[in-house]
């Protein structure tokens, strides 16, 4: 019986190898070889990585990308947590309604929504027109860090809210009753019970926000303008404009490693008993 | 349930039957197929170009759009089949070198005799054996003559973009080809140079501009930006300048005396085209007076049809007063881009470094 089921998984395994594993291996292969290879001769080299890490411009782009991604993630937590908490503490029907509202924008293509922000933030856009009515001089918002971070927070915050919300609703309410029986006030029971139990949701929220934020290329391109270069834009240029797939792959791989290491550290902090109080 | 399926099949048959009217089958008999797959730039066609062609020849045109030659090339290499594509000069040269194009049968394109004078003997395909021009033009400077003295523009040329008087007031076209063209021309070099030190100098010229001028790097947004007079100076394609000057009379156009890019986008038939006969018919159709007029009127780019070009730029023509419309030809310092993959790759990387350094 079990064997039969195992066979049924075969098509999926073949599919996953073809769609996920093979392309990844290709990226690794490209990253460690130099240009001009054909099928018969492959020269391995670390040249691509040396070129990336020794270049001060690329390093400052990398730093800027990490900064923007961290800033986006932090804002998503600060805004997303209270929202998720508020939704989780409502009645069953009301919860469904609010979650629907949160997910509703994601039904529309992300690119289209980002274009909408372009129209809103432009010098001649909606916001500045409204300000004009109030007699306030126009503010330049498009092509600034503000616009890029706004675009990222807007696009990625539903992932954060949903993760925290799920963690909060899965929580056993009897813990809170026990706490209040034992004399804890609202603040105490939040800090000692709700918060620690929702941390796994925050962690997966961080993963889901930080990953796309650090590699996004069209949000900086549309809202930051051509002069707002993040690492995703460099990778895009290497693949599409310069056609240097080896160097592009090397940057992608370097980014993947950096992300994996930071995720590992985040997970480690989560499971470390000393990090959040009373966990065994 | 069975009834439902029968009904659905019936409806499907009925619908598919609708396509086979007499005009379509006539087209099928003549061209072997009644569908043309066209791959063109966005916002690059007259309002009625496609619908008129479809009506006149009883065919269906499927249009897809690209926003860079490189994107088009990547799709073509992936094996996507189109009947007509409209790439730029250097990309056509590359496609020719890589045997990705079909040789044209000029006897099927009699309207080639309408071709504009300035487009004859193109350096990359002198006898039009692979391509037929669609639009063409230069790259120049659009400026607001209320805020920028025309005499200054003429005196400085591209070096206007290094004059800190205009800091924060300039748009630069976001492409390595056009930005390096500007820098190399400002320094008095050829835009097709392979000389390392000249490229290095141009790179430093662009870095200097980036660090001192707060330029905004844009592509098509430049059109609306200049129409709304958001900035005072922009380096743009002359066809876009035509539109800008049309919409805002405070704007003027100048072609720097240091020379510029004389570019052309031409129609080609890829080697894997499924319907080359109809593709020839389409190319011939674009060169007719009416189709060319429609194209140039809607898009604002200079027509490849001499008669239309003359008509539009005549004193009573729709672009008669527009100094950006007519391309500059026979100017020794103007050049056509040559295909050079190694150089292009290098410039692309230098360009993203320019933009990232602040």
pLDDT in tens, B299-331: 999 999 999 999 999 999 999 999 999 999 989
Mean pLDDT, rounded, for A254-276: 77
Q: Work out the mean pLDDT of chain B and round it to a whole number.
A: 91
pLDDT one-digit tens code per residue, A4-25? 777 888 889 999 899 999 999 9
Q: Which two tokens stand for residue A114?
A: 């980002």
What region does A102 belong to: left with phi over 0, alpha with psi -120 to 50, or beta? alpha
Give me the pLDDT at residue B70, please.
86
Q: What percent of chain B has pLDDT over 70?
A: 93
Give me the pLDDT at residue B335, please.
93
Hey, are the CB atoms on B68 and A227 less than 8 Å from each other?
A: no
Q: What percent of chain A has pLDDT over 90?
A: 54
- Chain B interface, best mutation among A240, A241, A251, by max B CB count within 10 A: A241
Task: Assign B2 a pLDDT band (cuts: 50, 70, 90).
Answer: low
Q: Which residue of A has its CA nearest to B345?
A: A242
**B341 interfaces chain A, CB cutoff of 8 Å:** yes
The pLDDT of residue B159 is above 60: yes
Mean pLDDT, rounded, for A197-209: 92
Three-state SS sequence of chain B: CHHHHHHHHHHHHHHHHHHCCHHHHHHHHHHCCCEEEEEEECCCCCCCHHHHHHHHHCCEEEEEEECCHHHHHHHHHCCCCCCEECCEHHHHHHHHHCCCECCCCHHHCHHHHHECHHHCCECCECCCCCEEEEEEECEEEEEECCCCCHHHHHHHHHHHHHCHHHCCCEEEECCHHHHHHHHHHHCCCCCCCCCHHHHHHHHHHHHHHHHHHCCEEECCHHHHHHHCCCCCEEEEEHHHHHHHHHHCCCEEEECCCCCCECEEEEEECECCCCCHHHHHHHHHHHCCHHHHHHHHHHHCCCECEHHHHHHHHCCCCCCCCCCCCCCCCCCCCCECCCCCHHHHHHHHHHHHHHHHCC
Q: Chain B residues with CB inside 8 Å of A139's CB?
A: none
The dihedral built from the CA positions of residue B52, B56, B58 and B62, taken in this order, carries a sign that is negative
**A61 interfaces chain B, CB cutoff of 8 Å:** yes
CATH pick for B31-136+264-313 out of 2.30.110.10, 3.40.50.2300, 3.40.190.10, 2.60.40.1220? 3.40.190.10
| pLDDT: which is higher, A253 or A186 | A253
Give me the pLDDT at residue A272, please.
58
Q: How far away is chain A from the Cα of B113, in angstroms, using its nearest Cα?
A: 36
Give me the pLDDT at residue B91, please.
94
What is the Cα–Cα distance from B227 to B244, expressed in whole angstroms? 5
Spatial CB neighbours of A122, under 8 Å, sequence gap ≥ 6: A128, A142
The pLDDT of residue A276 is above 60: no
**B77 interfaces chain A, CB cutoff of 8 Å:** no
Give me the pLDDT at residue A264, please.
87
Q: Which of A116-120, B270-274, B284-288 has the lowest mean pLDDT?
A: A116-120
pTM over cut 0.90:
no
Convert A219-231 to b/e letters by CB count within 10 Å (16 or more is b). bbbbbbbbbbbbb
Instruction: Residue window 214-253, chain B: list those with CB within 8 Å of chain A.
Output: 215-219, 228, 230
**B212 interfaces chain A, CB cutoff of 8 Å:** no
Pairing state of beta strands B131-137 and B263-268?
A: antiparallel
Residues of chain B with CATH 3.40.190.10: 31-136+264-313, 139-261+328-356
Task: Assign A279 a pLDDT band (cuts: 50, 70, 90).
Answer: very low
pLDDT one-digit tens code per residue, B81-114? 999 999 999 999 999 999 999 999 999 999 999 9
Q: How far away is chain B from the Cα of A77, in angstroms, using its nearest Cα?
A: 29
CB B210 within 8 A of CB B166: no
Q: Which residue of B has its CA nearest to A223?
A: B218
Task: Assign A214 a pLDDT band (cuts: 50, 70, 90).
Answer: very high
Sheet-wide strand order for B263-268? B60-66, B35-41, B84-85, B263-268, B131-137
pLDDT one-digit tens code per residue, A96-108? 999 999 999 989 9
The pLDDT of residue B187 is above 60: yes
CATH pick for B139-261+328-356 out of 3.40.190.10, 3.60.20.10, 3.40.50.20, 3.90.1150.10? 3.40.190.10
What is the Cα–Cα distance from A224 to A226, expressed in whole angstroms? 7
Map out the domains of chain A as residue ranges. Answer: 56-271
Q: Chain B residues with CB inside 8 Å of A123's CB?
A: 228, 230
Hey, are the CB atoms on B345 and A244 less than 8 Å from each other?
A: yes
Q: Chain B residues with CB inside 8 Å of A248's CB?
A: none
Helix or strand run (H / E) with residue A66 = helix A56-88
**How much is the CA Rg of chain A, to the nearest whole Å?**
23
CB A54 within 8 A of CB A276: no
Give me the pLDDT at residue B20, please.
47
pLDDT one-digit tens code per residue, B12-67? 555 554 444 567 778 888 888 899 999 999 999 999 999 999 999 999 999 999 98
Q: What percent of chain A has pLDDT over 70?
A: 93
Q: Which residue of B has its CA nearest to A233?
A: B352
Mean pLDDT, rounded, for A40-60: 87
DSSP code at position A137? P
Q: Chain A residues with CB inside 8 Å of B176's CB?
A: 241
Q: Chain B residues with CB inside 8 Å of A55's CB?
A: 353
**A232 interfaces chain B, CB cutoff of 8 Å:** no
> Please, what CATH class does the domain formed by A56-271 belong to?
mainly alpha
**A124 interfaces chain B, CB cutoff of 8 Å:** yes
Nearest to B356 among A57, A238, A243 (CB): A57
The pLDDT of residue B273 is above 90: yes
pLDDT one-digit tens code per residue, A109-155? 999 999 999 989 988 788 988 999 998 888 888 888 999 999 999 99
Q: How far away is chain B from the Cα of A199, in angstroms, using its nearest Cα?
A: 36
Hey, are the CB atoms on A237 and B217 less than 8 Å from each other?
A: no
Hey, are the CB atoms on B357 and A237 less than 8 Å from each other?
A: no
Q: Chain A residues with CB inside 8 Å of B67's CB?
A: none
Give me the pLDDT at residue B22, please.
66
**B352 interfaces chain A, CB cutoff of 8 Å:** yes
Give me the pLDDT at residue A239, please.
85
The pLDDT of residue A265 is above 50: yes
Give me the pLDDT at residue A1, please.
56
Burial of A117 (0-12, 13-18, 19+ CB in 10 A): buried
Q: Work out the mean pLDDT of chain A and round it to a whole number.
A: 88
What is the Cα–Cα distance from A146 to A220, expressed in whole angstroms? 11
Q: How far away is chain B from the Cα of A3, in angstroms, using its nearest Cα?
A: 37
Task: Assign A277 a pLDDT band (cuts: 50, 70, 90).
Answer: very low
Give me the pLDDT at residue A99, please.
93
């Amino acid at each position: 019986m079990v064997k039969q089921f195992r066979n049924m998984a075969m098509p999926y395994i073949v599919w996953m190898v073809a769609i996920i594993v093979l392309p990844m291996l290709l990226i690794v292969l490209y990253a460690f070889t130099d240009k001009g290879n054909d099928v018969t001769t492959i020269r391995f080299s670390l040249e691509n990585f040396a070129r990336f890490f020794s270049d001060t411009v690329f390093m400052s782009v990398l730093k800027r990308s990490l900064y923007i991604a961290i800033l986006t993630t932090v804002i998503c937590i600060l805004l997303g947590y209270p929202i998720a908490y508020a939704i989780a503490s409502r009645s069953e029907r009301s919860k469904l309604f609010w979650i629907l509202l949160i997910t509703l924008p994601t039904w529309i293509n992300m690119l289209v929504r980002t274009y909408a922000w372009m129209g809103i933030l432009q010098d001649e856009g909606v916001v500045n027109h409204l300000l004009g009515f109030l007699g306030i001089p126009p503010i330049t918002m498009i092509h600034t860090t503000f616009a890029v971070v706004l675009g990222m927070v807007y696009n990625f915050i539903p992932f954060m809210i949903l993760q925290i919300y799920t963690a909060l609703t899965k929580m056993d309410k009897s813990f809170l009753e026990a706490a209040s029986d034992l004399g804890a006030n609202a603040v105490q029971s939040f800090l000692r019970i709700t918060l620690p139990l929702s941390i796994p949701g925050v962690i997966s929220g961080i993963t889901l926000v930080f990953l796309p934020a650090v590699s996004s290329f069209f949000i900086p391109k549309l809202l930051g303008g051509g002069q707002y270069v993040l690492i995703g834009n460099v990778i895009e240029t290497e693949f599409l404009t310069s056609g240097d797939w080896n160097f592009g792959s090397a940057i992608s791989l370097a980014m993947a490693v950096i992300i994996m290491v930071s995720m590992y550290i985040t997970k480690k902090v989560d499971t470390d008993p000393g990090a959040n109080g009373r966990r065994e | 349930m069975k009834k439902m399926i029968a009904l659905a099949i019936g409806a499907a048959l009925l619908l598919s039957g609708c396509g086979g009217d007499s005009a379509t089958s006539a087209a099928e008999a003549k061209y072997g197929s009644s569908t043309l797959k066209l791959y063109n730039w966005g916002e690059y066609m007259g309002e009625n170009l496609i619908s008129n062609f479809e009506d006149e020849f009883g065919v269906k045109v499927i249009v897809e759009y690209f926003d860079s030659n490189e994107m088009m090339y990547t799709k073509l290499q992936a094996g996507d089949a189109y009947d007509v594509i409209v790439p730029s000069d250097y990309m056509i040269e590359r496609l020719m070198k890589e045997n990705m194009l079909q040789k044209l049968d000029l006897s099927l394109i009699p309207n080639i005799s309408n071709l504009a004078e300035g487009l004859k003997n193109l350096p990359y395909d002198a006898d039009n054996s692979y391509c037929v021009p669609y639009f063409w033009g230069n790259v120049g400077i659009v400026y607001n003559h209320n805020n920028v003295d025309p005499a200054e523009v003429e005196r400085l040329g591209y070096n206007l973009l290094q004059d800190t008087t205009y800091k924060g007031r300039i748009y630069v076209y976001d492409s390595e080809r056009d930005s390096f063209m500007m820098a190399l021309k400002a320094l008095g070099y050829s835009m097709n140079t392979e000389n390392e030190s000249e490229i290095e100098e141009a790179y430093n010229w662009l870095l200097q501009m980036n660090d001192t001028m707060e330029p905004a790097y844009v592509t098509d947004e430049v059109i609306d930006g200049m129409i709304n007079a958001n900035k005072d100076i922009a380096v743009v394609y002359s066809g876009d300048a035509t539109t800008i000057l049309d919409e805002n009379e405070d704007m003027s156009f100048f072609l720097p005396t240091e020379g510029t890019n004389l570019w052309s986008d031409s129609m080609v038939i890829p080697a894997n085209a499924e319907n080359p006969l109809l593709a020839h018919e389409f190319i011939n159709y674009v060169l007719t007076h009416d189709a060319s007029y429609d194209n140039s009127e809607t898009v604002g780019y200079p027509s490849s049809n001499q008669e239309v070009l003359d008509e539009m730029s005549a004193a009573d023509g729709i672009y008669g007063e527009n100094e950006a419309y007519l391309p500059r030809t026979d100017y020794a310092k103007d050049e056509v881009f040559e295909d050079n993959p190694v150089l292009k790759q290098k410039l692309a990387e230098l360009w993203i470094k320019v933009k990232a350094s602040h």
